[in-house]
Amino acid sequence: MITSLRGIILQKRPPWLWLEVQGVGYELEMPLSSFYQMVDAGETLLVHTHLTIREDAHLLYGFMSVAERDTFRLLIRVNGIGGKVALACLSGLPAEKLGQAVAEGNVAQLTAIPGIGPKTAERLVVELRDKMGGISTLPTSKAVSGDPRQEAIAALLTLGYKPAQASQTIGNLGDGLSLEDLIRQALQQLSRH
């Protein structure tokens, strides 16, 4: 399983992203909302991924946060929801608001998402309400993930840095650093620019 990729953005054509990692180019399909948080082509980016292997294709989906990927994984477990519809859900509503709509049984908000009709919205509510457990347990991009890099990015966001700037700065730092070292070095880099 490919859980994440860190590489240089070759090209962005929403919903597609081409990322080069150590000389290998990867094509990822991502929620449209991810492109608003993304650095420019030619820059380094960390993308969390989900790989789907079908008889006729290997599909790699990319996400800007672990929470977004986990929400995608919950969505594709619902009967009748595939990768395209799950991406449409995440493009239409952030993971936190999607979880809130499901927890509250807000079918009207869910049917506002392209590709989600009343029956599918009801199915989402019935099948995911217990799994999401309401908004308080739905992981969000600012939730503590246990990954020091994600926590460092969340810390930079709390300090007012832009998501793309925070992701890029943390992505440029070496592996194996503690949370404190990641934050300290990131702040040093950001203060120079």
Please give the single-letter amino acid code of residue 113.
I
pLDDT at 145: 45
Domains and CATH numbers, the chain: 4-63 (2.40.50.140), 66-137 (1.10.150.20), 148-192 (1.10.8.10)
Name the residue with tokens 């594709």: 76
**pLDDT band at 27, cuts 50/70/90?**
very high
Average pLDDT over residues 56-84: 94
State the amino acid at position 48 in one-letter form. Answer: H
State the pLDDT at residue 73: 95
pLDDT tens, 99-153?
A: 889 988 999 999 999 889 999 999 999 999 877 743 333 333 333 346 788 888 8
DSSP 3-state assignment of 8?
Answer: strand
Assess whether pLDDT exceeds 80 at residue 14: yes
Which residue type, as a one-letter code, is found at position 162? K
Residue 21: pLDDT over 90: yes
Query: In angstroms, rounded to a whole number, what is the distance separating the alpha carbons of residues 80 and 56?
Result: 19
Q: What is the rounded end-to-end Cα distance, in angstroms, of the chain?
A: 37
Q: Which distant-in-sequence residues (6+ apart) come within 8 Å of 19 by Cβ?
A: 5, 7, 8, 9, 10, 25, 26, 28, 45, 47, 62
Per-residue pLDDT, 82: 94
